[in-house]
Each structure stands twice: as structure tokens, then as C-alpha cells.
Structure 1
């Protein structure tokens, strides 16, 4: 088995091994993964954090020794908490941009130094919304995981991850985690709300706030009303999503 680590800020993970293929997720700086298949220009990988699979450009990652992969697997994540910062190569003073949520555990092996703020380990549930607000107004981007472009499940995954909790990548996968609540009145800020389409498939997720509000990625990361029917868009005065279930993960 081969292993790799992302040494660049934001790398697209694609459905097929071509630059024109759909982006299904992203690798952030410092994320590690298994290489399932390596071709001349592309590698099919399985991301360590959420077991998500896709293709990345071979020029956009570095090989990683198995022992270092195991070390990263056993270490608590250290994540950047600033919207954007820089790691510095000491000899050349070259800067590598680092976005919110970048993983900082392996800096010394990448010959980089970082003096910015970081967050480590489990945080109290009330911190969920504090982190969620950092993504407010981030534009919607299918497959995105950063404040420069993010999708609904990327948003919930990253907010939980920055608080030390693991969610899967897609909304349909996240909906299988946690404990289902019978009524919206049982929920508390930080719980997850899932929404389905006419066929009954889970297609959207957001984070419950106080007083029947929800923060979610729809066009942008925004705040809307939520009730037993679903999300009521405060700009259009219409329901945008049909509520399926509320889950308590923490």
C-alpha cells in the first residue's frame, strides 16, 4: 500500500482521472490518505479522515511513509483556526497559504513553520456555532470544504471537525450517524437537520441554531428559519428544503 499527504492549500478530488471531471471533494493542506491506484498522471485515493475516495493529480501531493501515516492516524488533529494564514519555509522564506481547517500535524516533515492559531481536540458543543459563523457567506461550491467555496455537507463536516468530531463527507452518509430526535423541540444548537427530495433521498444538511433558526450552505452559507416542514428562506419567503430528520451526534 502507498500513502500520501497534501502539501498544497486546496486540492480538488475528482470523480474521474481528468481535470474536467466533477469535483466531489477537496484535500486541505496536511491531509493524509491511502493511494489505491497510481497511474501516470493521476492517483485514486482514500482520504484517511472520512474514507472518501476520488482521483487527484500526482503533482499535487507528496509520498508518505507507512510509519508516518500510522503516526498521523494515532495523533489528535491540530487544525488551523484562521480564515487564511501562511506556513513558512525557513531557508527560503517561501510562503504556503493555509486555509481554515488545514491540518498542521506534519509541518516539520514538510520543512515548514507555522506560528498561527490552531485548535486541538474535543471542544464543548456550544463551540459548534462559533465555528459555523466563520463560514457565514462563504459561496456554495459543489465538493468544496473551505470558506472560499463549500457545499452543505462539507460545511457541517468541517465545523464538526474543527471541534474534534468526525462526520462522513456526504449528507446521506452523515444522516446515518447519531441519534434521531422525534421533534424539533427536542433539538439543541449544534444538532444536525437533514432534508430530502421528492424521491426520499437525503440531499441537504444544516446545523440547528437557537430559536428555530438554521445555518446551512445554500447559494452561500446563510441563516434561515426552520420548522416541522423544513427550511423557510427568509429572502424568498418560501420553503426551500423538506425536513426529513434531526440527529444528535454530540
Structure 2
């Protein structure tokens, strides 16, 4: 078991990182090729290739139980889990399978966990969302990343909403299908998701709205900028960096 496993678009360590498998997440193997396994995540159905050496097998019974259970998530930026003399570092947003307040379970083994954890079955709120999102400030940008050591824009929104009990798809163009449209920037509320398009009109960026028309998003780092009807204005660069396409409200 590892804290983080890269999932790639092809069977090569040089291939593009499409996302990351985070600790405690469950998946099924859908294809094999030499020393690589193509997996599909139980959370959002995302597919990618992992090195077979980084695979942790679970029983079919465990996998089915995992899929039908709500799991707590780690809230500390970095924490440790322990089993005997082995300790594994895990980051914020990691899954805590079958957490009982002091330990988690993978297959039939129990691992001690003494860090903070989210509730396993919660309804997201604006206050909770803002508090969770604040932990991600200054995380560096990484294409395909979902961790404290590197995260992309949709990985950021997926992690924040996931910790708060709402499962979003992995990519921005998939996430935009969720929620109800907010027609004017002036009507945004904390927790709304703003989406941005490229020159071809494709959704390529997403961020979480804060109060006062501020937006938190991953662009170089997880940062806070200003949003108006044109898009995101970066005060440091003194220019617009993203063109606004649509705003959606998830917390109805």
C-alpha cells in the first residue's frame, strides 16, 4: 500500500500523468500489458495504467463492500498510518476505509490512524467547503495531480468536494455537467464552481467561488484571484488568465 500512485495514459513511465490513485481508494483491474495494469477507479470510473509493482490486491468481497460504503477522508495535510513496525505517510483527502475512530481496514488488516478525519456520510455545506478548501492554498500545480505535493484544477475541486461528501467526476469538462447554472457573476455564492474555456470553446479550467467574487483555483499554485464577467483577473500578472464560460451551483 502506497500513499500515492501515478496513473498514466500509456504503459510507460514517460507517459502523461492522467490522475493519481490516492491512499485508500479502491479500483478494479480491467486490462494487463506486460508490467502494467489498466485500472478503473471505483469512485469516478476514471481509467489509467499503473506499474504492477504498485498494485495492492484486495478480495472481491472487500471491493464490493468498499463500493457500497461511505468512507471518511483524512483532513491533516500529512499524517501516518501504522501497522506493526511499518508506517505509511498519507495526505489530505486520502480515503480511510472502514474507519472506526482509531484505525482503518484494508482486506482483513487494521492500520492505526490518529489524525483528523471527515465524517463518512455528510451533506456538504458552504462553511465546511470553505474550511477544507483553505487547506489547499499554495499547493503547487501538477497536471494530473491530486495531492499536497502537486494538484491540478479539477483535482483540486474534486478533492475538496469529495472530502465534503460530494463526488465530482475527475475532469473539468465532466464536472460542468453537475449543478444548476448561475447566470451572473454578481449572484455567485461560496462553493459555486466557475468554468473556463479555451479558444476552441472547450472547458479546460475550473475553480471554487469564494465570497466577494473571489475564486480559488490551481494555476501555478492553488491561489485566490478575482472573477468578473470576463474571467479570472490575476493581480500579480496584471492581466486576465482565463475566459469565463459558465458558473454552476452544486450546493443547492
TM-score category by the smaller chain? Answer: over 0.9
Match of 2:78 among 66, 81, 84: 84
Q: Give the structure 1 partner of residue 95 of structure 2.
A: 103
* Deviation per residue, 1:152-208 (Å, 9 max, x gap): 000000000000001000011101111111111222001100000111000100000
How big is the shift at 1:124? 1.9
Q: Give the structure 2 partner of residue 3 of structure 1.
A: none
C-alpha contact (below 8 Å) 2:11/2:33 kept by paired residues: no
* Deviation per residue, 1:44-93 (Å, 9 max, x gap): 01111111100011111211212111111111121110000001112xx2
Secondary structure at 1:141 match in 2: coil
Secondary structure at 1:154 match in 2: helix
The 4+ residue runs of structure 1 with deviation greater than 4 A are none
Q: Give the structure 1 partner of residue 114 of structure 2.
A: 115
Match of 1:48 among 42, 52, 61: 42
Q: Give the structure 2 partner of residue 164 of structure 1.
A: 165
C-alpha contact (below 8 Å) 2:188/2:213 kept by paired residues: no
How big is the shift at 1:102? 0.8
C-alpha contact (below 8 Å) 2:176/2:248 kept by paired residues: yes
How big is the shift at 1:110? 4.1
Q: Give the structure 2 partner of residue 143 of structure 1.
A: 144
CA distance in 2, matches of 1:199, 1:38: 35
Q: Give the structure 1 partner of residue 185 of structure 2.
A: 184
Which of 80-89 and 176-185 deviates more?
A: 176-185
CA distance in 2, matches of 1:196, 1:79: 31
How big is the shift at 1:114? 1.1
CA distance in 1, matches of 2:34, 2:200: 40
Q: Give the structure 1 partner of residue 101 of structure 2.
A: none
TM-score for the superposition, normalised by structure 2:
0.93
TM-score for the superposition, normalised by structure 1:
0.94
CA distance in 1, matches of 2:31, 2:126: 39
Unaligned runs of 5+ in 2: 99-103
* Deviation per residue, 1:3-50 (Å, 9 max, x gap): xxxx21010000001111110000111110111012331110111111
Q: Give the structure 1 partner of residue 227 of structure 2.
A: 226
Q: Give the structure 2 partner of residue 15 of structure 1.
A: 9
* Deviation per residue, 1:81-117 (Å, 9 max, x gap): 0000001112xx2211111111111533344211211
